[in-house]
Structure 1
Amino acid sequence: DTMKNSLMYKMSYYNYNSLFPAGQATDRVRGSKLPAEGPELSTLEEAFTSENWIIRIYKVKDLDNLNRDHQSAMAFEKGNKRKKTSKRKGPRVLRVD
């Protein structure tokens, strides 16, 4: 898990799954099968990738206009909005007049 959370791993395998059919991504050099979903970058964005994926250049994302941190902004773009916590009310009472 430590390696999968490292920035070097995330930058190396970002969008790598798009080259293979679903669930069949393989690192041929290391002879290992990769997870079905690749890593996601929250603070960096891909600026350039060469045709053979030998050269990959990333840039740091700009600050969000709404003063959100990068992870919150990324979650919002995916549709994972934070749900507001509702206050728990007591049991409802049915009034009959």
Structure 2
Amino acid sequence: MCFTAPSWEHVLVLVMGAMLAPGKRTVSACLRMTGRAEAQNFSSCHQHLNRARWNTHAMARHLLSMVVNRLVPEGPVVIGMDDTIERR
């Protein structure tokens, strides 16, 4: 796992806020959308994201495996790609 238990709680709040926030999805906007704008630990999300060392490849791999395991618990996963160019 890429996060400790306390930091995982912050991540869940930020992800939920990112899904709900219109416009720019900053940390502050995400926290406001989840009703935590007036919380005393408002700055702890900023501090956690600022001070942590991130292995983005490991996190992306773990997130992808969580999504695939949740949405497709059994069977193969087929991914299709279309290489045609869309004119605008």
Fold shared by both chains (TM-score > 0.5): no
Which of the two has higher C-alpha Rg? 1
TM-score of the superposed pair, with normalisation by structure 1: 0.27
More strand by share: 1
More helix by share: 2
Q: Structure with the greater relative contact order (CA < 8 A, sep ≥ 6): 1 or 2?
A: 2
TM-score of the superposed pair, with normalisation by structure 2: 0.28
